[in-house]
Structure 1
Amino acid sequence: MPPKSIKVEIKRQSAPDQPSVTERFEIPYRPNMNITSLLGEIALNPVDVSGKETTPITYDSNCLEEICGSCAMLINGKAMMACSALVDKLMGSGDTITLAPLSKFPVVRDLSVDRSVLFENLKAVKAWVPIDGTYDLGQGAKQAPQIQEERYPLSNCISCCCCMEVCPQFNEETGFVGAATIAQAKLFNLDPAGSVLKEDRLRALAGDGGIQECGFAQNCVVACPKGLPLTEAISDMGRDVFVQKVKDFLSR
């Protein structure tokens, strides 16, 4: 028989400079709920298990279909997307569901964190296609089907930062850019228009916090909700970075 209620423990923090606390809730069970709908139930009646009134949980959410990447959090200790984490499956691993913010990013409030480091890393490797002006530039360069097939999986990155959360090398000491940034550098290096910045991207990845910081733990490829070929991308970019360093050395 399904349970009558769902027990939830949530790590909360009212502000970046405030201490964290754990609040416990008990929500009436409904089948086919995800974590986002569970948090919505708490917002409708923000009262903890002791009957004390509290505030709705702050969290990031947008598309509700695992496309925007904004609702990543720690669910039962694992980096997951709240929109695709089903309560029925989570209940099978214990009586209580635990929610916490991603641990490697500054907390804004409750389950919401500041993931701007990813976008700074993407800027560092120039992860974009350079466009000269806003006028019509005509037909773009043609791509072979083989290149399209190689690029498409990498284009599915949703910037959720799960790969960075689970990476033992992603920390303040190393400054490692993370698997998502390396994969996006490969994506744009394969693009006929984006490849004009290929050498700049490779030199950026050869610097501090670049690809040499990767310890090949492969946690990233396990945690990625979109199944991106991250280890393959890191391996390919490591080769390209080495070749670029040799070219730069010989051209001195």
Structure 2
Amino acid sequence: MAETKVAPKTIRVEVKRQATPEAAAFVEKFEFPYRSGMNITSLLGEIAMAPITSEGKQTTAVTYDSNCLEEICGSCAMLINGKARMACSALVDKLMAETKDGTISLAPLSKFPVVRDLAVDRSVLFENLKKVQAWVPIDGSYDLGPGPRQFPQIQEERYPLSNCISCTICMEVCPQFNEATGFVGAATIAQAKLFNMDPAGAVLKEERLRALAGDGGIQECGFAQNCVQACPKQLPLTEAISDMGRDVFVQQVKDFFAR
């Protein structure tokens, strides 16, 4: 006879908390009656409704970022059982099975400044996107007429890159993303490729390539491939890095002989 799995009676969770950016971090433990089909977002909602630790101490709701609740906004990225994941798509049943005692651990992303509890400041990504001018330089103040046509093959290649949700998981898992290197990260490189392939955005192609040739640029990538493994949207990040590395080199050669 096949074994019948017995559902656990309680869900145990440990949350790494920090009241302010300067405060010392501490861990609080919570227990709740088991309910199937929960994700981490709903689990944090349970804590908010009854913020009492497993020791019976009254506390506060856990602060974390969230918005869409369907893995589109990228806000709720955090360390779940030690791995960078999205809280909205991380299922409690699977997470409990990962650990020996069934306890789920939650912590903020480790490579970004903590704002409070599980919420971190990820503005470095947006500053990096500014460096490579990851946009189409059209302000919409006047009618430019119909946009240039794109070949279907180019549209198919660009579409996966447009699915980036700015979750910064690729930066969290990258061994090269740190203060010493200043590496811009896979997401920024992929967005530079996305806009370089756009007929209207390509007007800034050379500026983007020169930015990626500078400090913290594409030369800092160690090609560990952690990013493509961890990306929740399965973006072709290593392919984008390889293609942009070639384009950056070609641009450098052109600039050298143009002197």
Whether TM exceeds 0.5 here: the answer is yes
- Are 1:213 and 2:213 an aligned pair? no
Shift of 1:135: 2.2
89, 107, 113: which is aligned to 1:106?
113
Structure 2: gaps of 5 or more residues: 1-5
Q: Distance in 1 between matches of 2:228 and 2:32?
A: 33
Shift of 1:132: 4.7
* Cα distance change of structure 1 residues 132 and 39 upon mapping to structure 2, 3 Å threshold: closer
CA RMSD of aligned residues (A): 0.6
Alignment of 1:11-160 (within 5 A): 11-94=16-99, 95-160=102-167
One-letter amino acid of the structure 2 residue matched with residue 222 of structure 1 = Q
4, 8, 18: which is aligned to 1:3?
8
Structure 1: gaps of 5 or more residues: none
1:167 aligns with 174
2:3 aligns with none
Shift of 1:27: 1.3
- Are 1:226 and 2:233 an aligned pair? yes
Q: Distance in 2 between matches of 1:154 and 1:167?
A: 18
Q: Distance in 1 between matches of 2:91 and 2:42?
A: 10
SS in 1 for 2:57: coil
Q: Distance in 1 between matches of 2:141 and 2:64?
A: 36
SS in 2 for 1:175: coil
SS in 1 for 2:14: strand
Q: Distance in 1 between matches of 2:15 and 2:122?
A: 20
TM-score by length of 2: 0.97
Q: Distance in 2 between matches of 1:169 and 1:27?
A: 39
1:178 aligns with 185
Shift of 1:138: 1.2
SS in 2 for 1:25: strand
Runs of 4+ in 1 over 4 A off after TM superposition: none
Q: How many residues matched?
A: 252
SS in 2 for 1:27: strand
Q: Distance in 1 between matches of 2:139 and 2:123?
A: 26
2:243 aligns with 236
Q: Distance in 1 between matches of 2:141 and 2:201?
A: 17
Q: What does the per-residue CA deviation read over 1:108-166, in whole Å, with 9 as the maximum and x for residues that have no partner?
A: 00000000000000000000000154222210000000000000000000000000000
Q: Distance in 1 between matches of 2:40 and 2:139?
A: 43
One-letter amino acid of the structure 2 residue matched with residue 220 of structure 1 = C
Q: Distance in 2 between matches of 1:9 and 1:87?
A: 13
Q: Distance in 2 between matches of 1:131 and 1:32?
A: 45
Shift of 1:245: 0.1
Q: What does the per-residue CA deviation read over 1:79-128, in whole Å, with 9 as the maximum and x for residues that have no partner?
A: 00000000011111121000000000000000000000000000000000
Shift of 1:58: 0.1
SS in 2 for 1:180: helix
One-letter amino acid of the structure 2 residue matched with residue 10 of structure 1 = V
Q: What does the per-residue CA deviation read over 1:187-243, in whole Å, with 9 as the maximum and x for residues that have no partner?
A: 000000000000000000000000000000000000000000000000000000000
